[in-house]
Amino acid sequence: MSMLTGATLLASALIGAGAAQAAVVAPPPTEAPAEFGADWHDPLTAAPAVTAPHTTSCRVTLAEAQFRDFTPYRGSYLPPDGCGDRWSKVVLRLDGKVKGRQFDRLGYLHVGGVEVLRTSTPEPSPEGVEWSVEKDVTRYSDTFRTAQDVEMLIGNVVDDTYTGVIDVKATLTFYEGGPAAAAPDRVLTLADGPDGPTLTTPRNSERLVAEVYATGSGGGCEEYWYLAVPATAPYSCRAEGGPYREVQVEVDGRLAGIATPFPTVWTGGWSNPFLWYVIPGPRAFDVKPIEYDLTPFAGILNDGRPHRVEVSVVGVPQGQSGWSTPVNVLVWQDPGKAVVGGRLVTHEAGGLTDSSVHTPGTEHRVDTRAAHRLTVSGYLDTSHGRVRTTVTRAVANTSAHRWSDGETVDGLDAGWTDDESVTVDGRGPARTTRTHRTYTMNGVTTLGADARLRTRLTLGDLAEVVTTRAGRRVAWSRLDDTYRGDAAYTVDVPRDQRHAVGTTSERYRLYGSDGCHDRRLTTVQGVLTEDRRGC
């Protein structure tokens, strides 16, 4: 039995009621049951809650719906009355509840065509669970200043077996007072052109950042792309090139950005939903977009004409679906100039190396090594002088996938890196931001002769960011979000005979020049046994 056949993967994520508090108090010692019962703690994560200023606020409901099928909710949005139109912060909150039996499900929320949230759901207990997700969406302030159409969908199936109706409410809270946030001047989406999606930017754009909410789901094995093996290997999830995936952005057919997708594990993942009932994997409830600094291409894009902008995922078998890649483009404009000219001066795309080698045997093995590098540089003649932006990005992946005949033992040890450097030179001393991202996945699923399935898994989301000006450090941060789980149950028996057990934990540490957050959660058989905050 492979990791892919024990449970359908789709999605899950949230902050939990406790995470929204300013301080977390450890619960009293709780005696965990011998195994999972019919109910468990509501989902929560150790990630920090969104901080909000103590100022006047206004709340607007974006959507309120129950999802039973794949029919989107459609509504309308009006800006808040009483909080102005220049906000210090805008916070999106999603509250959800579901009970009965249901798979994890993926969802999105669009305002005026702009994707403001990509999320997933927990798998419910028979008694039901409730969860919440908060997100700082101040960057989309331009969209929120005018009336907009709203569309939301969490695709679901409800029938005699899968009874869980997903009930959600999404709100925006606007905070006025204090200085307005330095949000982009415009938020754009791509238009449909005769030769593909196009982008038309304001002619005085001086900074451009593309967001891509890239998620693999459905489409054969693309939900579990990190487990794919070459087509010649005897495994249930195969792709011609193996497991390497890279999300690329092209402008007018020229490579403009590369990135490593985060290996998200949804709440049915690794054939073992007992790993995720309380603590989801990193990013599962709040899918973060991949960001690409396209400013070096602004000199080309600022001609007032539509330009072809396309996103593709390297490694997906030809003709196969399975990836969603919606795009927002954030634009900062030059207030002192109607037209900002410039040009792309450097474009150096290294060759993509991607090797997956299958070694057959009693224990099959696929070793993957892949890497890619891109450097682009361009200048703009702004109202404050010539400004040159240089972006260098290098991505790499190594993994070792081992499995037995029949896939009764199936393990992966994988790591991904995504290193990015952005230097802006021309407005005073040069400013450089370097970001080093590391994603890790180490786990194994075993199925014994007694039909007992056990999964042990560790996931890591790590990042270091350093900003320097004239060579001196002016800001820095370090993130270490680590999840660990060990769960087992008996397969192919009624729920009350599974005798499921599971211990899960998450420690989320974020510290740097803006402060510190350190929280640790532990659960046993669905009972929260530890909730500690450091710093």
Report how many domains make up the chain.
1
Domain assignment of residue 33, yes or no: yes
**Segment 385-404 mean pLDDT:** 98
CA separation for the pair 41, 129 (Å, rounded): 8
Domain assignment of residue 6, yes or no: no
Domain assignment of residue 370, yes or no: yes
Please tell me what DSSP assigns to residue 241: T
82, with CB counted inside 10 A (0-12, 13-18, 19+), is exposed
Domain assignment of residue 101, yes or no: yes
DSSP E strands in 144-195: the ranges are 148-154, 166-175, 186-189, 191-193
Q: Whose CA is closest to 366, among 196, 516, 481, 242?
A: 242
For residue 357, report the phi and psi dihedrals to the nearest 5 degrees: -115, 125
Instruction: Return the pLDDT at 50.
Output: 95
Residues 221, 234: contact at Cβ < 8 Å? Answer: no
State pLDDT tens for residues 92-136.
Answer: 999 999 999 999 999 999 999 999 999 999 999 999 999 999 999
Amino acid type, 283: R
Domain assignment of residue 9, yes or no: no
- 7 pLDDT higher than 70: no
Instruction: Return the pLDDT at 4.
Output: 37
CA separation for the pair 523, 83 (Å, rounded): 41
State pLDDT tens for residues 480-490.
Answer: 999 999 999 99
State pLDDT tens for residues 434-474.
Answer: 999 999 999 999 999 999 999 999 999 999 999 999 989 99
Torsion-angle region of residue 161: left (phi > 0), alpha (psi -120 to 50) or beta?
alpha
Domain assignment of residue 7, yes or no: no
Q: DSSP letters of 98-124? A: E-SS----EEEEEETTEEEEEEE-PPP
Quickly state the pLDDT bin for 13 (edges 50, 70, 90). Answer: very low
For residue 307, report the phi and psi dihedrals to the nearest 5 degrees: -125, 145
Q: DSSP letters of 331-398? A: EEE-TT-S--EEEEEEEEEPPPEEEEEEE-SSEEEEEEEEEEEEEEEEEEEETTEEEEEEEEEEEEEE
- 433 pLDDT higher than 90: yes
Domain span at residue 397 reads 16-194+203-533
Domain assignment of residue 3, yes or no: no
Residues 497, 518: contact at Cβ < 8 Å? Answer: no
Instruction: Return the pLDDT at 219.
Output: 57
What's the whole-number average pLDDT of the chain?
92
Instruction: Return the pLDDT at 319.
Output: 75
Domain assignment of residue 170, yes or no: yes
**Segment 25-36 mean pLDDT:** 72
- 11 pLDDT higher than 50: no
Task: Give the Å distances, CA to CA, from 84 to 87, 149, 173.
Answer: 7, 20, 12
- Tell me the pTM: 0.93
Instruction: Return the pLDDT at 30.
Output: 66
Instruction: Return the pLDDT at 22.
Output: 38
